[in-house]
Amino acid sequence: MSLKKLENPKSVMIISKAQDNHVIRLTQQLVYWLVMSPKSEEQEVRAAREIHIYIDGNLAQNPIFNYDKLLKIHPDFRRLLHFWTPQFCAETPGLYDLIDFIITLGGDGTVLYASWLFQNSQVPPVIPIHMGSLGFFTVFNFNYVFNILSRLLSNRDEQNKNDDDKDDDNKSDGSSSYPSYLNNFKCKTSPYVGLENHRSSSEEFYSEDNNKLCFNNLPTETFHILNDVVVDRGPSAYMSHMELYGNNRHLTTVQADGLVVATPTGSTAYSLSAGGPIVHPQVQTMIVTPICPHTLSFRPMLLPNDLELKIMVPKDSRNTAWASFDGRHRIELKQGDFITVTSSRYPMPTICLNGQSNDWYNSLRRCLKWNDRVRQKAFTSSDNYIPGPITVNALKSELDDAMKSIMENAAALNQTNTNGNANGEGSESVAFEEIPPTHPINSFFYNSYDPNSRFSDNDLLYHTNLSNSNLKNSENLGAKVSYHDIGFV
């Protein structure tokens, strides 16, 4: 199990946003702490706690990181500090064996980038530190990392040694580090072969109209993704035209702006914005969400995780399609090309704050404001007020007093707004304005209310777009317009 690597870690990979100066400074502090903190220990303990650190190669010459000055502080910086690049990650065999765990300093994109760097191997356990904008994955603030690292480097981290440790999920001291696994997909792009080029490396199946199709089993590219694969129309003005297959059986024809195939982890990303469902990361499923479909009946669907899904651009499509994988490596799919999506054998382990489910629910509320609204008020009653018989005059007096109080408050708000504008200060207070008779009001006009009379048919004038001449002659229309009772909010 990959989390066993945390029991006695010897190396860490730090992935940070190299374009953010604040994050660079925190990376420098973290590197300094990792190198210098064991120096105060005894020789035997110091050797056990030493750890090799791999940081972004872009920081080697960064003036904020100050690598040259770090070398002058202590010679161990030269021995323990190493630099990684995307090429180094892609070309190093056994990268998983080289790195014991990962620390990400950034947002959700940094976590996705960490997964992307380990394309053909298991991803080491990830400690996600929140230094970005949204932070759905990143549940730790920067101060937590020192607490976790102290436990790891002291060889006291016993999490996930066996299933009995699940009882520890009830701890809430803020220093716990719980394991969780995020599902990955494996995507393969393959070219169209055609019947005339049928070879032993191809497979046959049939389209919706029973036309025999032949596809190449040898993919040109393979990607492991954490969130989603998106196939869309790209720069074309035409809608996308795709055929969707499950285990070589035709499922449907997609005519839409595009299609999102998401993992449960990616269900709260692009798929959610396109109308897809929110799926718990422990649910083993594949989410297919259309982007602006050209039919009302094409709704998102959940498919079994062991399904082999094929997305093909048919030969009669008016345009090509474009695919991206976790928002990266955008490629063009020509007529006859297709993508195969299956469940990956490499899930991504991450360290949680309060358990995977608790962190996930908290992220829904914190980042997406899920089901966040003002609570409906209960009906209230006062034991001090018991309605009894009341005369008409008493009721009129009570209502007049209430209206007088309301109008006094409105006048006070209007005065506040006027004073604020006179002083050059903006004001968002609600105010009532008197409307001159010549104002071109395009709304309903209400008759002034006479409490001594009953409503009549002329009390409301339902007429819009009245011209100035009509306003002047409003008496001729049989309506009495009171401009003082009309206000803008």
pLDDT value of residue 2: 57
Which whole number is the average pLDDT over 1-18? Answer: 80
Q: What is the DSSP letter of 160?
A: T
pLDDT value of residue 296: 92
pLDDT value of residue 382: 57
Per-residue pLDDT of 63-122, as tens digits, reads 999 999 999 998 889 999 999 999 999 998 889 999 999 999 999 999 999 999 998 888
Residue 481 backbone dihedrals phi, psi, to 5 degrees = -95, 125
pLDDT value of residue 48: 57
Tell me how far apart the alpha carbons of residues 149 and 142 are, in angstroms, rounded to a whole number: 12
Q: Give the Å distances, CA to CA, from 55 to 59, 98, 488.
A: 8, 13, 59
| Strand partners for 229 | 261, 325
pLDDT value of residue 420: 66
**What band does 383 get if pLDDT is binned at 50, 70 and 90?**
low
Average pLDDT, the chain: 78
**What band does 186 get if pLDDT is binned at 50, 70 and 90?**
confident
pLDDT value of residue 121: 86
pLDDT value of residue 43: 54
Which whole number is the average pLDDT over 417-433? Answer: 55
pLDDT value of residue 190: 73
Indicate the length of the chain as a whole number. 489
Per-residue pLDDT of 219-267, as tens digits, reads 688 899 999 999 999 999 999 999 999 999 999 999 999 999 999 999 9
Q: What percent of the chain has pLDDT over 90?
A: 45
| pLDDT value at 159 more than 50 | no
Which whole number is the average pLDDT over 365-386? Answer: 80
Asked whether 7 and 155 are in contact (CB, 8 A), the reply is: yes
Tell me which of 157 and 137 has the higher pLDDT.
Answer: 137
Question: What amino acid occupies position 167?
Answer: D
* Sign of torsion over alpha carbons 128, 29, 12, 50: negative
Which whole number is the average pLDDT over 433-458? Answer: 46
Q: What is the DSSP letter of 265?
A: G
**What band does 155 get if pLDDT is binned at 50, 70 and 90?**
low
Asked whether 301 and 288 are in contact (CB, 8 A), the reply is: yes
pLDDT value of residue 330: 92
Asked whether 441 and 486 are in contact (CB, 8 A), the reply is: yes
pLDDT value of residue 487: 41
| pLDDT value at 137 more than 50 | yes
Per 3-state DSSP, what percentage of the chain is helix, strand, and coil (rounded to 5)? 30, 25, 45
The least confident of 373-382, 386-395, 470-479 is 470-479
* CA nearest neighbour of 118 among 145, 98, 140: 98
Instruction: List the alpha helices (DSSP H) in 136-209.
Output: 142-153
pLDDT value of residue 146: 87
CATH class of 2-182: alpha beta
CATH class of 185-346: mainly beta
Question: What amino acid occupies position 66?
Answer: N
Tell me which of 283 and 204 has the higher pLDDT.
Answer: 283
Asked whether 453 and 403 are in contact (CB, 8 A), the reply is: no
Q: Where in the chain is the domain with CATH 3.40.50.10330?
A: 2-182
The least confident of 100-109, 132-141, 185-194, 293-302 is 185-194
The least confident of 15-19, 124-128, 199-203, 355-359 is 199-203
| pLDDT value at 430 more than 80 | no
| Strand partners for 390 | none
| Strand partners for 225 | 185
Tell me which of 354 and 12 has the higher pLDDT.
Answer: 12
Q: What is the DSSP letter of 192?
A: B
Tell me which of 194 and 354 has the higher pLDDT.
Answer: 354
pLDDT value of residue 398: 87
Tell me how far apart the alpha carbons of residues 289 and 366 are, in angstroms, rounded to a whole number: 24
Tell me how far apart the alpha carbons of residues 327 and 309 are, in angstroms, rounded to a whole number: 19
Asked whether 346 and 123 are in contact (CB, 8 A), the reply is: yes
The least confident of 162-166, 357-361, 386-390 is 162-166
pLDDT value of residue 266: 94
Which whole number is the average pLDDT over 435-441? Answer: 49
pLDDT value of residue 290: 97
Per-residue pLDDT of 10-37, as tens digits, reads 899 999 988 899 999 999 999 999 998 7
pLDDT value of residue 486: 40
Asked whether 98 and 11 are in contact (CB, 8 A), the reply is: yes
Q: Where in the chain is the domain with CATH 2.60.200.30?
A: 185-346
* pTM of structure: 0.71
**What band does 188 get if pLDDT is binned at 50, 70 and 90?**
confident
pLDDT value of residue 361: 93
Place of tokens 């299609």: 259
Q: Which long-range contacts (CB under 8 A, 24 or more apart) does 44-49 make?
A: 48/155, 49/153, 49/154
